Chain A
């Protein structure tokens, strides 16, 4: 389940940053690649809002700064 979610997040991040999916790994974080900069990060946030209904707030923008953190947040949300 988690592996599947990680794969989905990897795909979403790659799409938002407009990079090849193989560029993104399960541990990739903000700043690890040039495209994941401030603007790239906001593209990811907007994609998360659109696809998973994640509320884009100062808290989520500041907290969801890596693939594992995003996965954990989505997991937590689905457990609620």
Chain B
């Protein structure tokens, strides 16, 4: 039995922060099923799994107020820069594609945020990826294959634990001990909630995580030495993992998703010029795909304590722009990609240097493949004859 709790935030939540605050409510307490901020930013509603006593409600409300205060008090209104606006591009479909995808067996949910995709979605993903590879080829990007796992010590070097602790996914294994392994093999069992129960001391210390990003692996491989060439341009596709608690939702917000990236490493001018060139080239590709979208300034989903400062910094220096595709069925948009500039952050933290000894600058353009396919179906539906010609031919069965 769920219960709803409503209260006013201690600090009014400005309109530009409503979505960001709302997404963080999922991490406040495990009993929260859903959290919503009113459109005016003056009310918060929590749906909790179990009825709470007045004292428990008060404790929960205090935790939420901490989040609100940290994110909204003195919040800087970000610059809103729109680099491209094709949101009004006419599209023929207006339904949520998920029910039809489920009916057709095109998606199979293994768990929250974990999906198997069927043939139609796989064809679309392959097609969109081919277009992103086309972009990579236009830069002469060298292909790379990166691991799915990432050592904790590497993420620590780039302050990842500080900035995005909420979305980490940890990897471990059984301790290398015969008794532990035998005991596990004999007793391991999942309960009705899917929780694997094991005796304490079964698992080894965490030294590894599932990778949250693609481009980081290139930077790790270049660490602690001069850049091997004046500039490096690379491309790779990879699995990424970002835990989003109760925000995990359909193909819009997956725990395990795939990104294709084109990555630039070198001098500042090189990185910035190529990020801009990539955007202009993608503008033409998106026109062929017929995507209704907008490119606008954005910030990464930093956790509460870091949010205010980091988001303000990204905004001030135009570090991130998102490609936000229209979802007509909910009159909203979904980020399907981004154009990013990291300044010399990775160069400094990983000691990657240019010929003159100064730290390299980095940037990447990244595309979420499942989200691209989802947004396309949300705009064009399942009648392939209504799809733009390029997609119809490129993603043909």
> What is A's interface to B at a CB cutoff of 8 Å?
31, 34, 37-39, 41-43, 45-46, 56-59, 61-62
Contact = CB atoms under 8 A, between A and B. Distances in A.
B312 A56 contact: yes
A56 B313 CA distance: 11
Interface of B: 74, 76-79, 306, 309-310, 312-313, 315-317, 343-345, 348
B300 to A, nearest CB: 11
8 contacts: A42-B309, A42-B310, A46-B309, A58-B315, A58-B316, A61-B76, A61-B317, A62-B316
B76 to A, nearest CB: 6
Contacts of A43: 309
Given A37-B345, A37-B348, A38-B343, A58 B309 contact: no
Given A38-B309, A39-B309, 19 more contacts: A31-B343, A31-B348, A37-B348, A38-B313, A38-B345, A39-B306, A39-B313, A41-B313, A42-B309, A42-B312, A42-B313, A43-B309, A46-B309, A56-B76, A56-B312, A57-B76, A58-B76, A58-B315, A59-B316
B126 to A, nearest CB: 37
**Residue among A34, A43, A56, A59 with most chain B CB within 10 A:** A56
A5 B348 CA distance: 30
A58 B79 contact: yes
Contacts of A45: 312
B344 A61 contact: no
Contact of B313 (A31, A34, A59, A61): A61
Contact of B316 (A31, A39, A61): A61
Contacts of B309: 38-39, 42-43, 46
B283 to A, nearest CB: 25
Contacts of B310: 38-39, 42
Contacts of A41: 313
A40 to B, nearest CB: 10
Q: Is the interface of A mostly helix, strand, loop or mixed?
A: helix
A41 B77 CA distance: 18
Contacts of B76: 56-58, 61
A77 to B, nearest CB: 18
Nearest to A59: B316
Nearest to A41: B313
A43 B316 CA distance: 14
B348 A58 contact: no
A62 B318 CA distance: 9
Contacts of B313: 38-39, 41-42, 61
B317 A62 contact: yes
Contacts of B348: 31, 34, 37
A46 B76 CA distance: 11
Contacts of B344: 31
| Pairs of residues from A and B, 4 with the lowest C-beta to C-beta distance, nearest first | A61-B316, A42-B309, A62-B316, A58-B79
A37 B342 CA distance: 11
A2 to B, nearest CB: 26
Contacts of A57: 76-77
Nearest to A61: B316
A43 B313 CA distance: 11
A13 B309 CA distance: 16
A16 B310 CA distance: 16
**Residue among A31, A42, A59 with most chain B CB within 10 A:** A42
